[in-house]
Structure 1
Amino acid sequence: MSPKEVKIVPSEEEVIKTLCELIQDIARTAIQRDDVFKVGLSGGSLTKFLTVGLPKIETDWAKWRLFFCDERVVPVESADSTYGVYKSSLIGTVPLTEEQFIKIDPHLKTAEEAAKDYIQKMAVHFPPDSLPRFHLLLLGMGPDGHTCSLFPDHRLLEETSVWVAPITNSPKPPASRITLTFPVVNNAECCIFALTGAGKADIVKRVLKDEEPLPAARVKPTDGKLYWILDNSAAAHITDM
């Protein structure tokens, strides 16, 4: 297991710049080696960071395949659809097509059906009979320390039998979601958390300094790299680490 690297920069603008330069480098390496770049997206503030930063990078966009670390089982038109946010903000801003996004079927009525369908869609892009190995997962963290849709004290924290699990009782609405499970998350070549603002300072301290066993603290790639990119405000309580 590789140690984590914590990068603290002055501002949100610098977080975006640092994040997207790192994405550019990881994508270049992946495309040179594998002729494809497989990246998992999260919602929340990451959508803003990527919308602002990705148009400034140099990459072979046609080689990108974009998955979702978690997704809400809602129509694409819903404000709660993570894919819907990226569809409206990224497509047309950078030369990505809808077909490059591996997305849930919004017409399926249950999270269970959506999770099974998403596993089948993912399987097309990874070698058979092995855990998916993403080049990069871009992760967020909530004020309770959750990441993806893996929440504190939830039974899905111990799920190891499937790549993608349904959740129907999310503590944060909407209740119906799908999420990557920890075996897949920790099999990634690289995971990145990018966080800004004083509102994140307490939970950042609890995870990085106090080492509480919260879901975000369980992101530990077994054969990969882990980065935390923080602005000064988010890192306010860990500067003496």
Structure 2
Amino acid sequence: MTILVVNNKDKVIEELGKLIEETAENSIKTNGIFLIGFSGGSLVNFLTTALPKIKTDFSKWRIFFCDERVVPTSDPESTFGVYKKAFIDSGAVDLKENQFIQIKQDVSGHKLLTVTDKWIAPITDSPKPPPSRVTMTFPVLNNARVCVFATSGKEKAHMIKKVLVDKEDLPATKVNPHSGNLYWIVDREAADSHL
């Protein structure tokens, strides 16, 4: 695991962009394609700032969603909808809609933490609204070559402590790529005095 503490949110975004650019370049050279999973939340703002600045062949990218809310794509809570608006509709980066792979599944109440026999699982009790989602499970995440957590702000400091210092039994502590690399990119406020 690599923990990178930087000065501020802008530096988190910059370092995230560099890591994605390098990973994409290596993957395209080796495999002819780059597969990446996007999550929602604050990562949307980080990626919509970082990706237009990187040098890459976006035609070789295939984007999956690590977590998708079960809402229409026009809903502001839709992960796919937010990225589609930010990248495709705006033309900010040269991505096409068929490069986004949106996984849909009926919601039947499985919990992410207990699912080990499926790559994608539906949940109906997400702690954040909306409660119904479709999410990648740990077998998928832990088979990635690179997993990245990027966060900023003092409001994240308590969670950074729980995950990186106290090693509490939380979803983030279960992300541990078997033969890949795990990165945490955090700003000084999120690191607080813990890192």
TM normalised by structure 1 equals: 0.77
Pairing 1:170-185 to 2, within 5 Å after superposition: 170-185=126-141
Shift in CA distance, 222/84, structure 1 to aligned 2, threshold 3 Å = same
Q: Which structure's residues are more often helix, by fraction?
A: 2
Contact 1:185-1:221 at 8 Å conserved across structures: yes
Work out the CA distance in 1 between the residues paired with 2:67 and 2:189: 27
Question: Percent same amino acid at aligned positions?
Answer: 52
Structure 1 runs of 4+ with >2 Å offset: none
Contact 1:202-1:237 at 8 Å conserved across structures: no
Task: Determine the structure 1 residue equivalent to 2:146.
Answer: 190
Name structure 2 gaps, 5 residues minimum: none
Work out the CA distance in 2 between the residues paired with 1:28 and 1:155: 35
Work out the CA distance in 2 between the residues paired with 1:12 and 1:99: 31
Task: Determine the structure 1 residue equivalent to 2:107.
Answer: 111
TM normalised by structure 2 equals: 0.95
Task: Give the alignment's Cα RMSD to 1 decimal.
Answer: 1.3
Contact 2:163-2:172 at 8 Å conserved across structures: yes
- SS in structure 2 at match of 1:233: helix
Name structure 1 gaps, 5 residues minimum: 113-153
Work out the CA distance in 2 between the residues paired with 1:13 and 1:62: 27
Work out the CA distance in 1 between the residues paired with 2:186 and 2:169: 20
Pairing 1:51-66 to 2, within 5 Å after superposition: 51-66=48-63
Cα distance, 1:171 vs. partner? 2.2
Q: How many residues align?
A: 192
Over residues 142-182 of structure 1, what are the superposed CA-to-partner deviations in whole Å (9 max), with x where a residue is unaligned?
xxxxxxxxxxxx84312111110011222221111111111
- Amino acid aligned to 1:170: S
1:206 aligns with 2:162: yes
Cα distance, 1:238 vs. partner? 1.4
1:17 aligns with 2:26: no
Cα distance, 1:215 vs. partner? 1.1
1:69 aligns with 2:74: no
Task: Determine the structure 1 residue equivalent to 2:97.
Answer: 98
- Amino acid aligned to 1:207: V
1:227 aligns with 2:183: yes
